[in-house]
A and B are shown apart, each in its own frame.
Chain A
Amino acid sequence: MESVQTRLDTLIGEFAGLDAREKLELLVDFANGLPPLPPEFAARKAVEDRRVHECQTPVYLWTEVDAGAARLVAEVAPEAPTVKGFVAILAEAINGRPAADIAAVSDDILERMGLAEVLGILRTRGLRAIVARVKRGFADRTAGG
């Protein structure tokens, strides 16, 4: 099976050579493809503190590991398609692949996608916080948590 990083590199590659408008359109395609929160997580949302507090809009993340396989489950408010699209890309790269891979995922995802120029400096901070949160979440899980 390909690693999380390899899959992520392929997804990042889809952004290469696109102009700003095309990048945003691709991001919106990913956003539209993020599945709705599964019912069992909707129930957990009420009792667990899964909100990403560093992020501008309501974003809830779960970092699940089952027999070493990672699963990123997320709910992002519809008024934040940028965040939603970015989370969908992470979920596609992560889901079903080894959780142990995630710590080694490169931190320059936004730069390599060329999103920093499209979104501006301030907006990318929330996205960086999501990457950090996801990596920490899986690190806690794979460390026996």
Chain B
Amino acid sequence: MPAYAHPDVLVSTDWVAEHLTDPAVRIVESDEDRALYTQGHIPGAVEIDWAVDLQNQVERDYIDRAAFERLCVERGISNDTTVVFYGDKNNWWACYAFWVFKLYGHKDCRIMNGGRKRWELDGRPWSNERVSVPRGHYAAQEQDASIRALRDEVLKHQKAGKQLLDVRSPEEYRGERMHMPDYPNEGAIRGGHIPGAVNVPWPMNCNDDGTFKSPKELEKLYVKELKMKRRSPTIAYCRIGERSSLTWFVLTYLLGFGNVKNYDGSWLEWGNCVRVPVVKGAEPGGPSAPAAPAPAMHA
């Protein structure tokens, strides 16, 4: 049986249940609907909200290093804490939070396989009690540029014909809609995808119970069928970099790809940029250069 490349980053609900009061472990819930945490969370778990806690509220960016340090201190996380993320929607936001923790160099991050759904299916208890934790001590590193792609790099990557993954729904990829089915349009002016990007909608990584697909199934999808190469640089994107955090996690930790970046600007940036190439329709298209000599990225 093939195994995940880095099996240590996935923990089971059993493991979490056994470590609820372990002072070396902090359980963190990250949800699409943050009232879910209020309604009921894993006993002792703290909440980190993607929109309010992890995003800079003025510029479109993540919180800066000092704010990340403050967040960790408040949530009882120190540099040597084992941080286990879980959440709703197949751990989509849990992977987003995991990625931000890796961006600032946190060493021991894990995902509880299956998230809220698996915890619920296992019949385990929820708590709506307020959680207070002892303050942590934290010194974050500079942002790790090896996991984050900004737009100029994506443009170069695209022109060079390197591996690009679009993890949005097929309708978004083809340019028929500019937002997820049933989600509001958050303001992309153009629809379609980055030329050369292959469409692998993010739910293909997960089973119905919220757990990740088996190593064999993931290997079949990305390596055998799509012929993606583990050593080649890969960039994943979606709408605002949330769904692609999950795919980034799968490629990096479950399949052992060596060089994967998340383009967090994603379609909400690309679909609004002036003179960047866009392909509509089901075909990936090639790494065609835009008509103009130099794209005006700062227009």
Chain A residues at the B interface, C-beta cutoff of 8 Å: 20-21, 24-25, 27-28, 31-32, 53-58, 79-83, 85, 117-123, 125-126, 129
Contacts and interface: CB of A to CB of B under 8 A. Distances in A.
Contacts of B32: 56
A32 B40 CA distance: 12
Interface of B: 32-36, 38-39, 49, 51-52, 55, 88, 128, 130, 182-184, 186, 240
Nearest to B54: A120
B36 A79 contact: yes
Given A81-B38, A81-B39, A55 B33 contact: no
A85 B38 CA distance: 12
A83 to B, nearest CB: 7
A81 B52 contact: no
B149 to A, nearest CB: 21
14 contacts: A21-B38, A27-B38, A31-B35, A56-B32, A56-B183, A58-B182, A79-B88, A81-B36, A118-B34, A118-B52, A121-B51, A122-B51, A125-B186, A126-B183
Contacts, number: 61
Contacts of B88: 79
A57 to B, nearest CB: 7
B55 A120 contact: yes
A83 B38 contact: no
A21 B130 contact: yes
A81 B33 contact: yes
B51 A126 contact: no
Nearest to B117: A79
A118 B57 CA distance: 12
Contacts of A122: 51, 186, 240
A120 B35 CA distance: 13
A77 to B, nearest CB: 10
Contacts of B183: 56, 126
A55 B182 CA distance: 6
B35 A28 contact: yes
